[in-house]
Structure 1
Amino acid sequence: MTIARWMPHRPHSGPAHVQVMAHRGASAAERENTTLAFMRARELRSHAVELDVRMCASGEMVVHHDPALADGRVLNTLNISDIPDEVPTLAAALDACAGMWVNIEIKNDPSEPDFDPSDTLATLVVDYLRTRGAPDQWLISSFRRETVDSVHRLWHELPTAWLDMGVADDAADALAKDLLGSGHQAYHPYVKTLTRSVVDTMHRNGVAVNTWTCDDPVRMAELVSWGIDGICTKVPNVALEVIAQAS
Structure 2
Amino acid sequence: MWESSSVTSIIAHRGASKVELENTLAAFRRAVTMGAHAVELDVRRTRDGVLVVHHNPTLADGRVIAQSDHRDLPDHVPTLDEALDACNPLWVNVEIKNDSSEPDFDANDTIADDTIALLARRAEGDRAWLISSFRRETIDRCRALRPTIRTAWLTVTIDADAMSGIVNDLAAAGHTALHPWHGTLTRDLIQRCHAVGLDVNTWTCDDAERMSELMVWEIDGICTNVPDVGLSRL
TM-score bucket of the superposed structures, by smaller chain? over 0.9
C-alpha distance in 2 between matches for 1:70 and 1:13? 41
Per the alignment, residue 214 of structure 1 pairs with: 205
**1:10 Cα deviation from its structure 2 partner:** 4.4
- 2:124 matched to 1:124? no
Greater shift, 170-179 or 56-65, is seen at 170-179
Of 5, 19, 31, 1:13 maps to: 5
Per the alignment, residue 51 of structure 2 pairs with: 61
Asked if structure 2 preserves the Cα contact closer than 8 Å seen for 1:172 and 1:202, the reply is no
Per the alignment, residue 106 of structure 1 pairs with: 96
How many pairs were matched up?
233
Matches within 5 A, 1:180-195: 180-195=171-186
Q: Residue deviations 1:85-139, cap 9 Å, x none?
A: 1000000000000110000000000000000101111100000111113111000
- 2:168 matched to 1:177? yes
**1:63 Cα deviation from its structure 2 partner:** 0.2
C-alpha distance in 2 between matches for 1:13 and 1:44? 21
Of 13, 22, 25, 1:23 maps to: 13
Query: What one-letter code is carried by the residue in structure 2 that aligns with 1:178?
Result: D
| SS at structure 2 position matched to 1:53 | strand
**1:171 Cα deviation from its structure 2 partner:** 2.7
Of 62, 79, 92, 1:72 maps to: 62
C-alpha distance in 1 between matches for 2:105 and 2:138? 11
Normalising by the residue count of structure 1, what TM-score does the alignment of the two structures yield?
0.92
C-alpha distance in 2 between matches for 1:92 and 1:157? 23
**1:173 Cα deviation from its structure 2 partner:** 2.0
Query: What one-letter code is carried by the residue in structure 2 that aligns with 1:12?
Result: S
Asked if structure 1 preserves the Cα contact closer than 8 Å seen for 2:2 and 2:196, the reply is no
- Which consecutive aligned stretches of 4+ in structure 1 deviate over 6 angstroms post-superposition? none
Query: What one-letter code is carried by the residue in structure 1 that aligns with 2:215?
Result: V
Q: Specify every segment of 5 or more residues in structure 1 that has no aligned partner in the other structure, as ranges.
A: 1-8
Per the alignment, residue 82 of structure 1 pairs with: 72
Per the alignment, residue 150 of structure 1 pairs with: 141
| SS at structure 2 position matched to 1:192 | helix
Q: Specify every segment of 5 or more residues in structure 2 that has no aligned partner in the other structure, as ranges.
A: none
Asked if structure 1 preserves the Cα contact closer than 8 Å seen for 2:11 and 2:221, the reply is yes
C-alpha distance in 2 between matches for 1:152 and 1:13? 24
